[in-house]
């Protein structure tokens, strides 16, 4: 077996889930990722944990959803609920031979199914849970890479020394913890300010997402002002939004445009009141993610980027007694910060052209 797969399994079992003797762990691993399933089963066994393999292929999922009548189910399947409730931990692995396998499932059926399964999803992701990626051919194709090159990309991003990465990211957490106003400037097209005063800053060292590698928080609602060009494509509902431009006033989008699929952007903004507001500010710090691969699990952790999410704030970023943003959507959008760009905190430049103030080679602009 590829030793990178065994290392990936070790990171999942030892770092992300910290499996203990007696733990029952759900392995939700598509068959194209069988090597990872084998390595996870072995590593779980080593730790005295019991692996339970669940979940079918995208082909089975497609066949079932197309055939089912959503009206036939008024509550989630009791056996699945019982399984999810009793499990101690879970791994969800993404891996596709064809990422468009469910593209001919009627959207309303997909939505009905997702709604039916939501309590189970919440039960599973509320445990020691991690979502990760196996470098299957369909995913390599989405990334516009050969499968071997994509494998190298994925394993570099996930098989890291996460303690070292955490320590590296702690520098940014410290800066943000002390900050009130954040200003993001990139070229002539992005100049945005927001307050993060009193919001919690999270050091994502790959507990729930593997790869991890971002530092994120939530802006204070109503404080987002200025304009931004998201210069990397945004994938939404299988479609690509290109060069999204947003103008914010007092926290709300007042002007929106996109070079491609602008109508989709407009419908997105009209989802609900919170869809016009920013729920998350994230700073990508995983330098092994050095290219855009049209996969948000990786893209949002990319080095030299920041991202904003329209919609819902992440619970962990909103301390008791503070208010975040609420919405049915959470759509991340990225800004490239690698050139002609800076992050300022309370007027001090803390990152210029991707290099932080606490790194060698930082240009203080003097």
Whole-number Å distance between alpha carbons of 91 and 16: 9
Residue 364 beta carbon to its own copies: minimum distance, rounded to whole angstroms: 53
Q: Which residues bind its own copies (CB under 8 A)?
A: 21-22, 24, 26-27, 31, 34, 37-46, 48, 50-57, 59-61, 63-69, 72-73, 77-88
Compare residues 102 and 295 and give the one whose CB is closer to its own copies.
102
CB of 22 to its own copies, least distance (A): 7
| Residue (of 154, 150, 133) closest to 141 by Cα position | 150
Residues in Cβ contact with 89 at an 8 Å cutoff, skipping those fewer than 6 apart: 17, 19, 23, 24, 25, 26, 49, 127, 128, 129
| Comparison of 23 and 231: residue with beta carbon closer to its own copies | 23
Question: Dihedral sign, CA of 159, 161, 166, 169?
Answer: negative
Contacts of 37 (CB under 8 A, 6+ apart): 27, 29, 53, 93
CB closer to its own copies, 33 vs 275 = 33
Which is nearer to its own copies, 40 or 154 (by Cβ)?
40
Q: Please state the closest distance from residue 95 (CB atom) to its own copies, in A.
A: 12
- Is the Cβ of residue 53 or residue 100 nearer to its own copies in the bound state? 53
209: exposed, middle or buried (C-beta count within 10 Å: 0-12, 13-18, 19+)?
buried
DSSP for 251-314 reads TEEEEEE-SB-HHHHHHHHTS-GGGGSEEEEEEE-BTT--S--S-HHHHTTBTTEEEEEEEPPP
**Sign of CA pseudo-dihedral 228, 276, 209, 183:** positive
* Cβ proximity to its own copies, 10 vs 256, nearer residue: 10
Min dist CB 142 to its own copies, Å, is: 22
Residue 181 CB, nearest approach to its own copies (Å): 48
């Amino acid at each position: 077996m590829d030793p990178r797969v065994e290392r990936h399994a070790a990171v999942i079992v030892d770092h992300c889930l910290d499996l203990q003797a007696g733990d029952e762990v759900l392995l939700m691993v598509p068959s194209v990722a069988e090597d990872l399933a084998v390595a996870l089963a072995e590593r779980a066994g080593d730790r005295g944990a019991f692996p339970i393999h669940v979940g079918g292929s995208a082909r089975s999922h497609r066949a079932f959803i197309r055939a089912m009548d959503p009206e036939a189910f008024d509550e989630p399947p009791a056996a699945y609920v019982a399984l999810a409730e009793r499990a101690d931990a879970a791994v969800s692995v993404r891996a596709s031979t064809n990422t468009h396998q469910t593209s001919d499932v009627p959207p309303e059926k997909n939505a009905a199914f997702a709604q039916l399964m939501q309590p189970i999803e919440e039960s599973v992701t509320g445990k020691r849970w991690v979502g990760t990626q196996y470098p299957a051919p369909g995913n390599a194709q989405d990334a516009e890479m050969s499968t071997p090159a994509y494998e190298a990309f994925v394993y570099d991003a996930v098989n890291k020394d996460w303690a070292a990465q955490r320590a590296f990211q702690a520098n940014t957490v410290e800066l943000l913890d002390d900050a009130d106003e954040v200003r993001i400037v990139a070229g002539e097209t992005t100049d945005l300010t927001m307050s993060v005063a009193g919001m919690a800053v999270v050091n994502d060292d790959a507990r729930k997402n593997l790869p991890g590698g971002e530092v994120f928080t939530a802006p204070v609602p109503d404080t987002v002002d200025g304009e931004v060009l998201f210069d990397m494509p945004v994938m939404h509902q299988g479609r690509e939004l290109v060069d999204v431009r947003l103008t914010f006033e007092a926290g709300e989008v007042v002007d929106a445009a996109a070079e491609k699929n602008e109508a989709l952007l407009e419908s997105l903004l009209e989802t609900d009141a919170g869809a016009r507001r920013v729920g998350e500010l994230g700073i990508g710090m995983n330098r092994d993610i050095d290219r855009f691969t049209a996969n948000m699990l990786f893209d949002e952790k990319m080095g030299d980027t920041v991202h904003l999410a329209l919609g819902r704030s992440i619970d962990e970023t909103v301390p008791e007694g503070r208010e975040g943003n609420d919405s049915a959507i959470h759509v991340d959008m990225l800004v490239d910060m690698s050139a002609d760009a800076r992050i300022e905190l309370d007027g001090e430049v803390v990152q210029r052209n991707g290099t932080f103030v606490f790194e060698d080679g930082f240009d203080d602009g003097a």
